[in-house]
Every structure is written in structure tokens, then in C-alpha cells.
Chains A and B, each alone.
Chain A
Amino acid sequence: MIARSGAPLWLALLACNPEAELLPAEGHIMLHIDTDAWVPSSTAPSPTEQRALFDSLLIEVFLPGEPQPCPTCLHELTLTADVLETGGSLAIASDGAREGVRVRLSMYLAAHRHGAVIDPTVSVQLTALLPRFPEEGGIPVPLFLPTDAVGAPIGTLDAPIEAAVAEPPPSRVRTWPGAQRLGCADAPRPGEVCIPGGAFWMGNLRASENSTDPQETGFRLVTLAPFFIDAREVTVGDLRNGPGDNPMYIALWSGDEGGDDLDDWCSYTLSATGERDSLPMNCIHWAGAVAHCEGRGGTLPSEAQFEYVAGALEWRDFVWGTDIPGCNDANWGRAFGVNSGSSGPKTVCTGFLAPGDIGGPIALPPSPNAAAMEAPRLRDVLLLPTGAVFDLAANLGEWTRDWFQPKDSDCWRVNASNLFRDPVCELPSAVRSFRGGYHTGGASALLAAERHAQLPDTAINELGFRCVRPAVPAVMEAN
């Protein structure tokens, strides 16, 4: 059994050297592989374009009755849209068996492969029984890998689907609706930024929940509808002048900045002071945050929405990319006095506080310049064509709409498939999720995918919020 590339060419290193012969004279099957998946294009993506969700394809050929692919029957290819669009194909020639040959295709993202193992939950996998090999010449067999089947293998080695001889239809590459970047048809209100809908891989190997279990990569394919998000964390002034201003949910500022009382770091005061009103709101219960957002016709972001935005819509480690956080990149690691407890990572950047400064959430200027940010939030900004979103990496952790449930709970387990559409965990637990790093947190808390939990009726100085509001999806024309 030999697999060789046919015309047009796959960009793959096959058993090719000057002595290699051309396609065999014996009968062969031309596999025409296609997908609707968002694979890399030949041109670099624009900043707003959906990043590739899959980029690699593993092809394994199994002889009748064999549970392992034959020795020369395993090929991995780099997928690109232009190869699929021009009708990429792969010839399989038989040097013996004519019937009962199976082929298994696994489409995945190379970055998800750690070592030799491809995690089936993050792959689109299809196992097909090939038709009888012809005595001579080639017959075309089209196979299609639908993105919707991620984590839900189509066919198995024991029960493969039957592949039929047919002329290949035109490629449907990059037509999967989930990956279409849909903008907002309605206008944002002041202070909001449109986040176009799209698809992303939720989860990160560096996040603590994933790194403790080497068995599962923990990635989830998530699609989101477009939404509006507050450009900044809700401030004391926003709350005071907006809905949901309910002292029942709020711990007040202690009135001094000695660092001997946890309320020294709380923002809110009963009477308006110009200075403190620009501080982001903290020390507020989950219900208080919800009340404000709902009063504005919105809600809290879901975990998925927050991670999507904090990962710059392309599942980056941090909002700025992969660089390890520096102390002035964002407001984190500045625990002081009774806020520091006994844990070390919280104080990594305390030396950056000015004398007399006890740390805490910091205000944004009224008109921050997203192109020229200043310490200590040099890089804590996401710049989109629709606007800039600030303080996603740190300053305050932010309440989300979800109950906190572990990755193996009913909310997040891979069931029928590993595709989650606008997921929100409504399965009650004792704690609500919050996301994002905070002024007393360690660097790992700045990971877009890092998950945290907190009792909903606690008012702590590390935790604030921002709101989201559903957008009317922009109209898209079918292509």
C-alpha cells in the first residue's frame, strides 16, 4: 500500500527522491479531501480575520482487519485553503488488497498536538471504508470533514462509513458559519466596543486547570455571536450615576490608605468625590454587578466571552500575545500590607509601588490613548478596529455570568461534540466564576484562559466587573 501525491500537488514531503517513480500503473483511488473548516489561507490574516482553527491533516490507511495503519500509510499534511480550493487530492494505490481498505482522516491544529498524540476531542475525525480498487486507472472518492463534528468522530475502524465513487464537488473550505466574523449591525452606546462574533479555542495548556491534568488538552471549540462590551471596568461614578447603585451589595472604602484593613482598597464612597469616582468599582457582590448591567439592558460577560476578548479574539496567552508579563505591562503582583497574605507571587511587583502607595485598582484617564499606554498598564489594552478595550489582563478580576464548574462538569464536558455555541454555565455551584488578573494576583492570573472562582456574596477588593450587551448580528451574504 503506497500513498503518493497526485496533481495538483500537496505540499507534503512524501517518499520522494530522484529515483521515485510516478503514479503506479495499477489501479488507484484518488482521495479528494475537503472541509468547511477555517484553515490557513495563503495570505497572512488581517488583524480582524478569524485565525485558523485547523491547519493539519493526518491520513492513515488500514489494510483489511488491521487495527494499525500499514507502515507506509501514514501521512501528515499542512492544510491550506488554496490547496483545497484547487482540488487537492491524494492517490492511494493498492499493491494487494482490493477490498476492505479503510482510511482515517484526522484534522487538527498543530499547536494542539503535544508530542505524538493527537487529542481526538480537538480533532475532526472521519473513518471511511474505501470502494473496491479498480484493476487499472484511478477512481475519485470525495471525503468531507465537517467542523461541526469536532470531538465527535464520524465512523470507526470497526464501523466505518462507506465512501462512494463520485466526482468531487467544489470545495467548501472556510464556509463553516461558526467562523464567520460577524460584526454588529446596531451602534454601540458610549463606552461600548463591538466584539465581532466568531470562533475560538477556549482553554490554554498554561492555565492551571489544564496543566494539572496531562490526559486532556482541555480545549473547547466555541462560537460566539457578536456583542458589545464595556471598554473599561465599571467605575464608582458609573455605578453612582447608573442603575443598581445599592449599598447592600457594596463594601465601602475605609476612609484611609494605611494598608491595615482590607477595605482600605475598596473604591466606593457614600458621597461623591471627584477623585474616587473615576476608580473602577470593586468590593461588590455578584448580584450588585448583575443589577447594574441588567439595568443598562445588558448582563455580565460569560466566561467564554471574556476569554475571547482577553485573548484578542484569537486565544492568545495574554491580551498582548505570548510575552511573560512584566511588572509595568499591567497592574498585578502589587499586594501590600494585609492584602498580601502569605503567598509570594502576589508581591512580585510590589517594589514598583511608589513610597506610601499601598496598591489597588487604578483609574483610567478619561480619554486613554490606546496607542500609547502608560505604566503600569503599558500593554493591558486590546486595540480593535471597532475600538479599544482596557484592563482585561489585570487591574481587577471581573465577575462573569457563569457558575463556576470544573472542566469535567456537565457544563464543560465534551458530550455529543466538542462544539460549544455561546456557552454559559447555568449549573449552580457554591461559587461564581471570575476572570482576569488583579492588582494582588500572580502573573498566571493574567492568562486569558485562567479561571477563578469566588462566593457570589463576597465583596473583595480584587474583584470588579464590566458589562456586555447582545448586538444585532451584521447581515452576511452567503458566498
Chain B
Amino acid sequence: MRRWAHPLLLVSAVSCAEGEVLAPLGEVLVTVDTDAPVPLLVSELRIDVYSADGTWIDSNKRLVRRRESWPGSFSIFIDEDADERVALVRLRAYSRTRDYRGERFLARPEGGDPAAIIETPAGDDTPRLVIDGEDRTPTSEPLPELSIDRLVRIRVRQALRATAHVTLHLACVGTMVDLAQRTSCIDTENQRVPLDDHPLEEGIVIPIESIGEGPLSQPRACNGTPRPGSGPPWYDGERCIAGGMYVHGSDAIFAGTEASEAVLVNASNFVTQLNSFPERVAVIAPFFMDEHEVTVGRFRRALIEGLSGLENELQANNGPLATTAGPDQIPECTWSALPLNREHYPLNCITWRGARAFCNFYGGDLPTEAQWEYAASRDGSAIKAPYPWGSETPTCEHAIYARARPFNGLDKCLHLGFGVQPTEANVNDVSGDGIVGLAGNLSEWSLDSYRSYASACWRAQPLADPKCWEEAPEVRAKRGSSWGTNNVGTAPYRWGKQASYVVSLVGFRCVREAL
């Protein structure tokens, strides 16, 4: 099972094969290990071989979905014609691919317009892998944002059997190899090291046991204690959201265009929904999160305790709460100048600035999109859940949604009552951490500026607690479905709203550091 067409041959697991004795040719046995979670983040290894001048000469992939399969090995051979050959070997650990777009290098942007979409359009000038005159370019390539990408130089000498060992570090996920510059990430996020500065040792002892998962993907407990709740109508308790690594976003949620020419806010002031991809790896620090959406009573108490200056950030409804859809949203607002019987309702009709001021007043902040999505997809299992309660498809009993006007299914659950519901009505909308009302009732303001994940703002973000921050964007992100949506979006769904708007579908909750 050897091919002789090329000076460097890539053969898999040769030493295992029955009866195959290696010819006395030059060979380097390369073992590869990773500290990334298997198979959550890494389930395949892609091996691309380039000759010293950069010509692509081979491509191969292996399924390695079990921790026991690491470290794995492969051999690189030399033919009989040469005393010595040098190969560049690109190793990528990943689990997901996209159609081949040319493997083009994508650096993390610095500065520039945060709204600019950084695209990598496919073109005809993409590199091709040609073997024996046949085009054997793989039809897919690993998703760069979710791949650990490493370039090594392997020197094969005639009649010598050498070994080399490579570890693919989770810290390097999303930091692409720069083939032109011959640099790649060794073990520090967003730092590419020239090949010559990091030569591989030959002849080292090859480890048999995998190093296992590294610290980046380990859960991290909260430091400090969450604030205990003081009960209804305040519902002000906190829960700890343990830190950890997860994949932020969803490749499946395609909302529309994100071409750079597209408008975010159209002439009717409608905010275009953004895609939930490209996905990225996020390492979330532990934090405390409000168990419930901030209630009317809790906000009123804050005013008594000294929160001020928010007169223009909040819409009061001094009449009764609407029981049916009407032309005006004021009757759908829960806040009232004097306490009515709605103090236990979540607060809506507040601007982003008003919501953030409340959180800041108590030493916290609005959750970032990543914090919110992380919290909303923790159902208690190890795998990212689509809904706070797990993977069950939502019904009217799971969460408060579709309680609006009879149009396009917006009234699917109207038989259970119109509009926003009191906090205690969220019986089943509970995450594994005990966070209530993430999926429905009110949509919730996020801290972030509402930008495409393909924008410079997001592309520039590190692994740790990524967020797109702009000082005063027109539109802020909000997360979660509400009484006014026709369905419950999965945790990665994204929406935006003008930061200055007061909307009866939007409320908020706060988070606090727990480092």
C-alpha cells in the first residue's frame, strides 16, 4: 500500500499492519495529541503536506472522535531518489467543515471599522492539489474559527527512522496558519511563531498516553456567593453560572444577508436579523446571573435606594395591563408611576441605557451575548442544549411566547393569556442552573453592540469572554424570545433593537462578576 509517485509519502498507521515491514527508507513517524475536548470540539484530524517550496502534495483526514484515539500517529516517507527532503505539514484538529474556499488565511483584525464585514469569498484562484496530473483538491475545508491549526517542518533523511511529536493546543483554536509567512500558533492565542523559531525535535520519546483536556476547557466555579433572593415581588436572587468553554453561535441559524452592503436598519426602522454564524469558541469566566428578569417592584425599590436620572428611559402605563392586542403599546407596559398590582411582573418598556443603569447601580452589568447564550444553553448536560430546558421542542407549556395578535401564529398560545405574564408564570422555562424565563416572556437586552459575527468587531475578539462593544451604536443586541414571537428561538438566535427604544417585548436581567 505505498504510492511512489511523490518524493514524500504519507502513509497511515503503517507499523500496525500485519506483515508489512518497513523498507529501509527514510521515515518520520509523527504523533499528534491535543488538549482540546474530544469529540465536543475535535473529532477529525486533517493532514496536509507541502513540499519545501510550498507546493501542496497531499491531503488526508482521520476521524478521531475518542480520547483513546489520541495521541495518533502517521508516517512520512522519502523516496529512493533523494538523500534528504523537507516537508511542511499542516495539522488541523476540528470537527466541522465547510465547502472548500481556498484555505485562505484570515488574521484577527485590529482597529478599523467595527461594522465592516470580513469576508473570504471563494474564487477561482484557490490553491489546487494535483496528484499524478489529477485534481484531488478536497471538496471541504475545516471551519477556521473552530480549528486548531498548526504548521510544522519535517525533515526526512534516507535510511533514518525518526520520530516527532506535536501537540495541538486549544489556545490556538481560531488562529489560522499563515502558509505564506510560514507561521503558526504553538500554544498562545493569536500568536504566530515562525517555523524556524520552533523546530521540532527528532528522536524524542513518543508519549503513549494523551495529555487529556487542558485547563481552558475545564469548568470554573464561582468565587463568592450569589445574592439570595428576597422573594416576590422583587425576585432578585442570583445563581452561579460556572465558567467553561463552549461553541458560541450556530451554523444552522441563517437569518439573511450579511454582505457588507446590506443595511442593518431599514427605512421603516426595522432591524435586520443577523446570522448566528460563523461560530467561535468562547471561554466564559464564571459569573452570577439574575434568576429572573428584573421586576417592576425591584426597579421601584432601586429608585427608592437612589437610582435616578432615568425619567426618559422608561415608559409608564398608569392604566390596566392590556388583555388583548391594541394599536398602542403603552397598555402593554408593566411599569406604573405608582404601584399597581403588577409589581411582580417583569419590567419592560425600558431603554438599553435605563436597563444598564439599573444593573450598574447594583455593581453588575447587562449580560453579554456570549454570557446569555452560554447560560441559556446549559440544561445540565455536557452538550450545548438548544433550549434552557434541553432539546424538547417548545410547546405553549415550555415558555411564554405567541401571546400576541392573531397573525402568522403570533397567537398560538393566546388561549393562556395575552401579553407579558407575571414572573411566577414561568414554570417550565428553567435552565439547568435554575435561571428562569430565558426562553420566553420578555426578550432581554444584551450589553453588546448588534453586529454580524463576520464583522471586524467580533473577529477581533479573544477566546475569553468575547463581546462586541461600541460606545454608542444605534442598535444593541437583545436575546431570547418573548410573548410577541411566534416561536421560541434556540439559544443562539440573535435579535437587535435600537438602543433608545422602549418596547413592550423587551426587558432585561443583570449579571455580576464571580471571578
Which B262-313 residues sit within 8 Å CB-CB of chain A? 262-263, 266-268, 270-273, 275
- Whole-angstrom CA separation of A325 from B134 in the bound complex: 32
Q: Which residues of chain B have C-beta atoms less than 8 A from A170's C-beta?
A: none
B71 within 8 A of A: yes
A17 within 8 A of B: yes
Contacts A78-B62, A321-B99, A347-B267 known; A7 to B383 CB distance under 8 Å?
Answer: no
A443 contacts which of B62, B257, B383 (Cβ < 8 Å)? B257
A9 contacts which of B12, B44, B137 (Cβ < 8 Å)? B12
Mark contacts of A329-357 with chain B using CB atoms, 8 A cut-off: 1 yes-contact digit, 0 otherwise.
00001000000101111011111100000
Instruction: With CB as the reference atom, state the residue of chain A lying closest to B383.
Output: A115
Which A210-228 residues sit within 8 Å CB-CB of chain B? 210-215
Contacts A12-B12, A17-B31, A324-B258 known; A344 to B73 CB distance under 8 Å?
Answer: no
Instruction: With CB as the reference atom, state the residue of chain A lying closest to B266.
Output: A347
Which B379-418 residues sit within 8 Å CB-CB of chain A? 383-384, 386, 391, 393
Assess the A18–B206 pair: CB atoms within 8 A: yes
Assess the A13–B12 pair: CB atoms within 8 A: yes
Assess the A350–B266 pair: CB atoms within 8 A: yes
B225 within 8 A of A: no
- Whole-angstrom CA separation of A344 from B266 in the bound complex: 7
Instruction: With CB as the reference atom, state the residue of chain B lying closest to A138.
Output: B18
Q: DSSP class of B's interface residues: helix, strand, loop or mixed?
A: loop
- Whole-angstrom CA separation of A343 from B31 in the bound complex: 54
Instruction: With CB as the reference atom, state the residue of chain A lying closest to B132.
Output: A43
Q: Which residues of chain A have C-beta atoms less than 8 A from B266's C-beta?
A: 344, 347-348, 350
Assess the B13–A43 pair: CB atoms within 8 A: no
Contacts A215-B391, A324-B275 known; A16 to B268 CB distance under 8 Å?
Answer: no
Contacts A20-B16, A211-B252 known; A326 to B98 CB distance under 8 Å?
Answer: no
Instruction: With CB as the reference atom, state the residue of chain A lying closest to B31.
Output: A17
Mark contacts of B1-39 with chain A using CB atoms, 8 A cut-off: 1 yes-contact digit, 0 otherwise.
100000000011111111110000000010100000001
- Whole-angstrom CA separation of A5 from B252 in the bound complex: 36
Q: DSSP class of A's interface residues: helix, strand, loop or mixed?
A: loop
Assess the B163–A348 pair: CB atoms within 8 A: no
B227 within 8 A of A: no
A6 within 8 A of B: yes
Smallest Cβ distance from B353 to chain A, in angstroms?
23
A427 within 8 A of B: no
Assess the A14–B16 pair: CB atoms within 8 A: yes
A326 contacts which of B65, B101, B261 (Cβ < 8 Å)? B261
Number of interface residues of B (CB under 8 A): 72
Q: Which residues of chain A have C-beta atoms less than 8 A from B17's C-beta?
A: 5-7, 9, 22
- Whole-angstrom CA separation of A22 from B254 in the bound complex: 49
Which A97-149 residues sit within 8 Å CB-CB of chain B? 110-111, 114-116
Contacts A210-B252, A326-B261, A443-B257 known; A77 to B63 CB distance under 8 Å?
Answer: yes
- Whole-angstrom CA separation of A60 from B273 in the bound complex: 43
Smallest Cβ distance from B223 to chain A, in angstroms?
31
B121 within 8 A of A: yes
Q: Which residues of chain A have C-beta atoms less than 8 A from B73's C-beta?
A: 13, 16-18
Q: Which residues of chain A have C-beta atoms less than 8 A from B98's C-beta?
A: 322
B490 within 8 A of A: yes
Smallest Cβ distance from B260 to chain A, in angstroms?
8
- Whole-angstrom CA separation of A19 from B15 in the bound complex: 9
- Whole-angstrom CA separation of A321 from B66 in the bound complex: 32
Q: Which residues of chain A have C-beta atoms less than 8 A from B71's C-beta?
A: 17
Q: Which residues of chain A have C-beta atoms less than 8 A from B135's C-beta?
A: 43-44
Smallest Cβ distance from A92 to chain B, in angstroms?
14
A440 within 8 A of B: no
Assess the B136–A44 pair: CB atoms within 8 A: yes
Contacts A12-B13, A44-B136, A350-B266 known; A78 to B63 CB distance under 8 Å?
Answer: yes
Assess the B97–A5 pair: CB atoms within 8 A: no
Q: Which residues of chain A have C-beta atoms less than 8 A from B258's C-beta?
A: 324
Assess the A17–B97 pair: CB atoms within 8 A: no
Mark contacts of B37-72 with chain A using CB atoms, 8 A cut-off: 1 yes-contact digit, 0 otherwise.
001100011000000000000001111111011011
Q: Which residues of chain B have C-beta atoms less than 8 A from A343's C-beta?
A: 270
List 15 interface pairs A-B (beta carbons < 8 Å), by A numbering: A4-B16, A6-B17, A12-B12, A15-B68, A78-B62, A206-B252, A210-B252, A214-B391, A322-B98, A325-B257, A349-B257, A350-B267, A352-B261, A443-B254, A444-B255
Interfacial residues, chain A to chain B (CB-CB below 8 A): 4-20, 22-23, 42-45, 51, 56, 71-72, 74, 76-78, 91, 110-111, 114-116, 205-206, 210-215, 316, 321-327, 333, 340, 342-345, 347-352, 442-444, 447
